[in-house]
Amino acid sequence: MYKLSSKSKGRLQGIDPRLISIINEALKISVIDFGIPGDGGLRTAERQKELFDKKVSECDGTINKSYHQTGKAFDVYAYVDGTASWDRYHLTQVAAAILQAAAMLGYQLRWGGLFKSFVDMPHFEIRD
């Protein structure tokens, strides 16, 4: 069983408690360790605009808001052999554990790896 580092935990401040539950459950069943990247949690409108301007996000933070701005989303990276991995294979295995944990807890979670218009493998968002 894996555990989040204190840095990853800090990056989840302000995130919906249901998402925290999903992450903790997923860490128990995941075959690959994972963490939360620097911009992987709650974002201000200003930070979201910066990411949009850098073309790292499709959401501009004002007209098209991100789920990150409401605490209803998080991003992950896989942690393999002591380093962060953004490899599709690793992220898919992490996603399987996260989606399974959400289902076990009765939450509807949307994974960016299954988006129709673009692929955002590290991204997860909860639907009310």
Specify the CATH number for the domain of residue 26: 3.30.1380.10
Q: Is residue 90 part of a domain?
A: yes
Q: Is residue 39 part of a domain?
A: yes
Number of domains in the chain: 1
110-120 pLDDT, tens digit each: 999 999 988 99
Q: Is residue 1 part of a domain?
A: no
7-37 pLDDT, tens digit each: 999 999 999 999 999 999 999 999 999 999 9
Q: Is residue 114 part of a domain?
A: yes
Q: Helix H segments across 1-128?
A: 6-10, 17-29, 45-53, 88-105
Q: Residue 107 is part of which domain span?
A: 6-126
Q: Is residue 63 part of a domain?
A: yes
**What is the torsional sign of CA 16, 21, 22, 28?**
positive
Torsion of CA 71, 32, 115, 70, to 10 degrees: 0
